[in-house]
């Protein structure tokens, strides 16, 4: 059953062009089982007619603070009490500024001020409006007060420019809201995640690396945060925005990652090693750029140290989860790795295929642990991450209760 089943959501719509996408978001929230009441600002009604939201949500749309009929039926206080969550999508720069000041001149502002439930914003505006210090200060102040932000996303904008400021896509918003209601199984616990590739320098301008995008590790960090954990993310070079609530430590080489992870691991309850750590590194880094004087070039490589095995050998070892990227014999290699490295769990994925694995948005995992195994069928990396975090927290609790 969806986590949104029977959840009461106030969907606030403010006056931005992205409001047309909120129609689809309404439909998706309803399909997931949520009860949705749409509250529109006056400006929002210039973009989408209230009747559209009424038809999609199956409920009358709330517009005016001082509508006496409305006030007696379901006014701003009753609406605020009815909701399990207030989601504002799109949230314009103007609305965000008003929210920061606590202005309650319109119904939606009054509801937010009266709300004792979480408020989530999906900002949408021109990229310069988003990066303007005024908006950034407003957002920082709201975040410090516990208001959650989903997005904005990067890409083409309705105004013809391109950059950070697009509203997140309805499917991603719906999923993120669903995860908001996830059981907080890791509340009070700390999780260390390593993600992405490493870069092994050959000379000052060249390096060896691999195809890891970091998507799986970043999704796991977010899923652990959603489950209530305090997360430290040790990341190789990737092109992804880290989860806002994670403590990020950037590293480049396998040796850097070794030092950082083995240093931090004893202070964490769980370590998840998703990073595609280089197995070999150049024995020596040339001081100057290597010139192409010869027909062939030999680079001597030496083995890197295994971070995961080192963490599993620590006297104060966290619950240790490894990843295995294999082209064949998935299950037997995964179980062999579990035993050889002394791990608590191994999540194996098949690589070298068209779907799943490196750089893909989807993945399927074969998860093994001492005495059990589970197959997680192909799904988005976010969904797989949520399922894997549930499995990790179940096994972590089982291990610590014995």
Q: Closest distance between ligand C5P and the C-beta of residue 57, in Å?
A: 44
Residue of the chain from 224, 275, 376, 391 that contacts ligand C5P (CB under 6 A):
275
Residue of the chain from 307, 334, 351, 389 that contacts ligand C5P (CB under 6 A):
307
Contact 358/326 with Cβ under 8 angstroms? no
Nearer to ligand C5P, 279 or 394 (CB): 279
Sites for ligand C5P among residues 337-366 (CB under 6 A): 337
The conformation of residue 188, written as its DSSP 8-state character, comes to: T
User: Residue number with the shortest CB distance to ligand C5P?
Assistant: 307
Residues 6+ apart with CB under 8 A from 106: 41, 42, 65, 98
Going residue by residue from 189 to 228, which x/- string records binding to ligand C5P, judged by CB under 6 A?
-----x----------------------------------
Q: Determine, following the binding rule CB under 6 A, whether residue 322 of this chain makes contact with ligand C5P.
A: yes
Q: Determine, following the binding rule CB under 6 A, whether residue 273 of this chain makes contact with ligand C5P.
A: yes
Task: Count Cβ atoms below 10 Å from residue 289 Cβ, excluding itself.
Answer: 11
Contact 86/118 with Cβ under 8 angstroms? yes
Q: Determine, following the binding rule CB under 6 A, whether residue 308 of this chain makes contact with ligand C5P.
A: yes
The piece of 173-181, 225-233, 317-325, 374-382 that touches ligand C5P (CB under 6 A) is: 317-325
Sites for ligand C5P among residues 242-261 (CB under 6 A): 254
Q: Closest distance between ligand C5P and the C-beta of residue 261, in Å?
A: 8
* # binding residues, ligand C5P (CB under 6 A): 14
DSSP output for 279-329? SEEESS--SSPPP--SS-----EEEPP-HHHHHHTSTTPPEEEEEEEESS-
- From the candidates 23, 112, 159, 174, give the one annotated as an active-site residue: 159
Q: Determine, following the binding rule CB under 6 A, whether residue 304 of this chain makes contact with ligand C5P.
A: yes
Q: Closest distance between ligand C5P and the C-beta of residue 341, in Å?
A: 7
Q: Closest distance between ligand C5P and the C-beta of residue 395, in Å?
A: 16
Return the SS3 of 349.
Answer: strand
Q: Closest distance between ligand C5P and the C-beta of residue 337, in Å?
A: 6
Contact 120/88 with Cβ under 8 angstroms? yes
Nearer to ligand C5P, 12 or 273 (CB): 273
Question: Distance (Å, rounded) from C-alpha 4 to C-alpha 25?
Answer: 13
The piece of 8-16, 121-129, 181-189, 271-279 that touches ligand C5P (CB under 6 A) is: 271-279
Contact 366/328 with Cβ under 8 angstroms? no
The conformation of residue 106, written as its DSSP 8-state character, comes to: S
The piece of 4-12, 86-94, 272-280, 391-399 that touches ligand C5P (CB under 6 A) is: 272-280
Q: What are the phi and psi torsion angles at 275 (to 5°)?
A: -60, 140
Tokens of 182: 């996830």
Sites for ligand C5P among residues 73-112 (CB under 6 A): none
The piece of 9-17, 32-40, 123-131, 273-281 that touches ligand C5P (CB under 6 A) is: 273-281
Question: Distance (Å, rounded) from C-alpha 324 to C-alpha 52?
Answer: 48
Cα-Cα-Cα-Cα dihedral sign, residues 92, 97, 102, 104 = negative
Contact 190/271 with Cβ under 8 angstroms? no
Question: Distance (Å, rounded) from C-alpha 394 to C-alpha 38?
Answer: 37
DSSP output for 331-346? HHHHHHHHHHTT-SEE
Sites for ligand C5P among residues 16-75 (CB under 6 A): none
Element housing 208 (H / E): strand 206-208
Catalytic (active site) residue 159: yes
Q: Determine, following the binding rule CB under 6 A, whether residue 306 of this chain makes contact with ligand C5P.
A: yes
Q: Closest distance between ligand C5P and the C-beta of residue 83, in Å?
A: 41
Nearer to ligand C5P, 56 or 231 (CB): 231
Question: Distance (Å, rounded) from C-alpha 121 to C-alpha 97?
Answer: 12
- Active site residues per annotation: 159
Binding site for ligand C5P (CB under 6 A): 194, 254, 273, 275, 277, 279, 304, 306-308, 322-324, 337
């Amino acid at each position: 059953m969806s986590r949104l089943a029977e959840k009461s959501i106030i969907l606030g719509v403010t006056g931005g062009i992205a409001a047309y996408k909120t129609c689809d978001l309404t439909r998706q929230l309803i399909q997931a089982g949520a009860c949705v009441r749409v509250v529109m600002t006056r400006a929002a009604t210039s973009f989408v007619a209230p009747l559209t939201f009424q038809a999609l949500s199956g409920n009358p749309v709330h517009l005016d603070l001082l509508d006496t009929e409305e006030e007696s039926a379901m006014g701003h206080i009753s609406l605020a009490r009815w909701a399990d969550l207030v989601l504002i999508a799109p949230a314009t720069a103007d609305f965000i500024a008003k929210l920061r000041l606590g202005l309650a001149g319109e119904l939606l502002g009054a509801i937010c001020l009266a709300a004792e439930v979480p408020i989530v914003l999906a900002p949408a505006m021109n990229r310069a409006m988003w990066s303007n210090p005024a908006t950034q200060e407003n957002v920082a102040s709201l975040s410090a007060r516990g208001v959650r932000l989903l997005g904005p996303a990067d890409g083409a904008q309705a105004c013809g420019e391109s950059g950070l400021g697009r509203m997140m896509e309805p499917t991603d918003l719906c999923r993120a809201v669903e995860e908001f209601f996830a059981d907080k199984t890791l509340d009070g616990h700390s999780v260390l995640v390593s993600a992405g590739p490493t870069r092994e320098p050959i000379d000052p301008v060249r390096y060896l690396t691999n195809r890891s995008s970091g998507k799986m590790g970043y999704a796991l960090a977010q899923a652990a945060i959603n489950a209530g954990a305090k997360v430290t993310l040790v990341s190789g070079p990737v092109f992804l925005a880290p989860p806002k609530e994670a403590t990020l430590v950037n590293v480049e080489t396998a040796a850097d990652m070794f030092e950082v992870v083995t240093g931090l691991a004893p202070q964490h309850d769980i370590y998840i090693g998703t990073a595609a750590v280089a197995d070999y590194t150049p024995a020596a880094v040339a001081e100057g750029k290597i010139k192409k004087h010869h027909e062939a070039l030999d680079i001597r490589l030496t083995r890197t140290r295994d971070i995961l095995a080192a963490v599993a050998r620590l006297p104060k070892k966290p619950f240790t989860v490894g990843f295995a990227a294999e082209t064949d014999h998935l299950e037997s290699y995964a179980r062999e790795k579990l035993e050889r490295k002394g791990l608590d769990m191994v999540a194996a994925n098949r690589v070298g295929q068209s779907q799943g694995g490196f750089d893909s948005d989807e993945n399927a995992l074969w998860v093994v642990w001492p005495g059990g195994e589970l197959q997680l069928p192909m799904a988005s990396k976010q969904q797989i991450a949520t399922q894997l975090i549930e499995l990790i927290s179940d096994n972590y609790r089982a291990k610590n209760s014995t």
